[in-house]
Chains A and B, each alone.
Chain A
Amino acid sequence: MKKIILAATAALAIAQAPAAFAAESGHPLMEQKWTFDGALGKFDRLQLQRGLQIYREVCASCHSLKYIAFRHLEALGYNEEQLKALALEYEYPDIDDEGSDITRKGTPADHFPNPYPNEKFARASNNGQLPPDLSLMTKAREGGPNYLYSLLLGYEDAPAGVTVGDGMHYNKYFSGGQIGMAKQINEDAVTFADGTKATEPQMAQDITAFLTWTAEPKMEIRRSTGFRVMIYMFIFTLLAYFLKRRIWARLEK
């Protein structure tokens, strides 16, 4: 029994070990401490709100966030009125009752709009590159949040002997070393509503935390449910063990 508990604990520990992957580039990532690390880590609401602000003011001009509706942002601590007001800032193509094309104001049920009408337009506007949707970014890359953080701050002059393509930028964390996106995280690029100073590491952390939430919005309930399930299962297993011993004791008589 002891052995089994030990093994289960060990398995949990392994499952929780931070993914210390080097990115596909082979460069070790800048490992950050996140509030959502560990088995019971949670998101920092204010950090997510700052991240949302960065997304809207910096990223949204090129990147979609298609799996996030305004109503989802309730999880960031906004109330219904605030979300309605936020949605009103966006416009969506639609048709009216007569079937004519119109644009209408957004509602909380709408998703963040794609900045481009189609892929070809997006590529034409970005030197042939397609800015990916950001909803799942931290789950879709080896290294997750640490990779994204490193990538955002990983811009530097290309080492001698590396020729950077036209319209490309050197970033050592990007697979192949050349990325279409220019450096976007610059000091004071946004003025945070909560007064936090917008340093580069601060901004990179905040947008990464926000995109970790967009990738896995049910993370907190998953973990808190899991915590209760594990306690239940420990008790169940313990009871089953004693019951098993008691029933098998009949054989020794």
Chain B
Amino acid sequence: MSMEKSTGRRAFEWFEARLPIVSFIDNAVGSKYPAPKNLNYFWNFGSLAGFMLVTMILTGIFLAMNYVAHKDMAFDSVERIMRDVNFGWLIRYMHANGASFFFIVVYVHIFRGLYYGSYKAPREVLWWMGLLIFLAMMATAFMGYVLPWGQMSFWGATVITNLFSAIPLVGDSIVTLLWGGFSVDNPTLNRFFSLHYLLPFVIVGLVFLHIWALHLPGSNNPTGIEAAPADKIPFHPYYTVKDAFGLGVFLLFYFAAVFFAPNMLGDPLNYVAANPLVTPEHIVPEWYYLPFYAILRAIPDKLLGVVAMFGAILILFVVPWLDTSRVRSANFRPVYRILFWLFIINGLILGWCGSQLPEGLPLILGRVTTFYYFFFFLVLMPVVGWMETPKPLPASIGTPVLKAAE
């Protein structure tokens, strides 16, 4: 083999010396990023979330080329995309279902962080950046759902923006500012479109901060103990190939929805154009907001309901300090583990309550589950972490744990 460098190699090194972008990527998600060797498939969901963000931005750019942000034309322009734009139906169904699948992936990602204690020191700021992404996603998705200007778009926007009127003194002014007038109307649609296009790029910025914050301590792992250098393997090729496999599995589900059940997660009423004079019998938000919607409606007072709803998300920011346990992974916490799974089931029930009319059983169940939601964070997390005797931790990640990664 010749020791002489090829021209291509020299050109590459010339460029790398001036802008080391390839090394940057290699350090971030390549062969220079050592990751614990025992990560299980729950760790796939971070890269899946990144994939969905890119998918949403790309499909969104092409939709925006054909969408008209005007109250008299928005609905028609969406139908034109569905009928006359080349593969418009595909782009729109990928975008609409993509929102749901993005949330599925992100909820699993948050679930994984909670279960394995990935928020605990020294990863608190990493956790915060993730929560900021989650908040920005919720705002983006809400405004995106308004854009087709169907009945559910219009009335969902009316209900959700009205929540801000509960804020004392300045509430009404805030709502007027959000609306750009005195009801949900054309100015609302215009500013929502503008913000819906802006916020995804804010999310991209937050993702960079999220990954930056990840690389200082490195990835957590299912045991929750610090991984010794000997127990780490390069992200590339080991986790790139594992993520590729995970992506394939994920896409099977995503494409099954896009091509064979594209309206399964949507509301039929959003195929009726917005009509300010006809209020739907039952206004429900998209499924990914339902648990929080249930919390809002579980509380009889409007202001307190809004506080509880936002509090349900904001409380996640202080979870690193609410959890008093010395052990990260719930695998080694026999009591907490049960309470945690109860919390997940509780969240699913909350979601169901959010989809029902707030009366009878759904209302009572909504109140019980809202109570458990906050009880879990405010009481169980600190108290159990303090009282519980964790199972003995392994001395190192070692070989036996590798099997769990398969």
Contact = CB atoms under 8 A, between A and B. Distances in A.
Nearest to A67: B79
Interface stretch (B154-162, B239-247, B317-325): B239-247
Contacts of B262: 222
Contacts of B256: 8, 11-12, 15, 226, 230
Interface in A127-170: 132, 135-136, 139-142, 144
A217 B252 CA distance: 24
B138 interface: no
B83 A244 contact: no
Given A226-B255, A244-B245, A39 B268 contact: no
Interface residues of A, number: 40
A67 B83 contact: yes
B96 to A, nearest CB: 13
A240 B252 contact: no
B4 interface: no
A223 B249 contact: no
A251 B402 contact: yes
A225 B93 CA distance: 13
A70 B307 CA distance: 54
B238 A223 contact: no
A218 B89 contact: yes
B304 to A, nearest CB: 32
A247 B241 contact: yes
Nearest to A135: B79
B248 A236 contact: yes
Interface in A2-49: 4, 8, 11-12, 15-16, 24, 39
Q: Quick one: which of B256, B257, B271, B402 has the most chain A CB within 10 A?
A: B256
Given A8-B252, A15-B257, A15-B261, A139 B402 contact: no
Contacts of A136: 79, 271-272
A243 B238 CA distance: 10
Interface string A211-246: 000010110001101110110011011001101100
Contacts of A183: none
B45 to A, nearest CB: 15
Contacts of B93: 222
> How would you classify the secondary structure of chain A's contact residues: helix, strand, loop or mixed?
helix
Contact of A218 (B83, B261, B402): B83
Interface in B185-212: none
Contacts of B37: 251
B261 A72 contact: no
A16 B37 CA distance: 39
B259 A226 contact: yes
B260 A233 contact: no
Contact of B241 (A140, A144, A218, A244): A244
Given A72-B83, A226-B258, A229-B259, A8 B249 contact: yes
A89 B264 CA distance: 39
B389 interface: no
B58 interface: no
B397 to A, nearest CB: 12
A126 interface: no
B269 interface: yes
A215 B263 CA distance: 12
A175 interface: yes
Given A140-B268, A222-B89, A251 B233 contact: yes
Contact of B269 (A4, A140, A226): A140
A16 B313 CA distance: 34
Given A141-B268, A226-B260, A237-B248, A217 B90 contact: no
Contacts of A139: 263, 268, 271
Contacts of A226: 255-256, 258-260
B124 to A, nearest CB: 32
Contacts of A234: 252
B237 interface: yes
Nearest to A226: B259
Given A222-B259, A226-B256, A244-B241, 16 more contacts: A8-B253, A15-B257, A140-B268, A215-B271, A217-B83, A222-B89, A222-B93, A223-B259, A233-B252, A236-B248, A237-B251, A237-B252, A241-B245, A248-B241, A248-B242, A251-B238
Interface of A: 4, 8, 11-12, 15-16, 24, 39, 67, 72, 132, 135-136, 139-142, 144, 175, 215, 217-218, 222-223, 225-227, 229-230, 233-234, 236-237, 240-241, 243-244, 247-248, 251
16 contacts: A132-B272, A136-B79, A140-B272, A218-B82, A218-B83, A218-B89, A222-B89, A225-B90, A225-B259, A227-B259, A229-B255, A240-B241, A244-B245, A251-B37, A251-B233, A251-B238
Pick the 6 closest A-B CB pairs, nearest first.
A226-B259, A237-B248, A15-B261, A140-B271, A240-B245, A218-B89
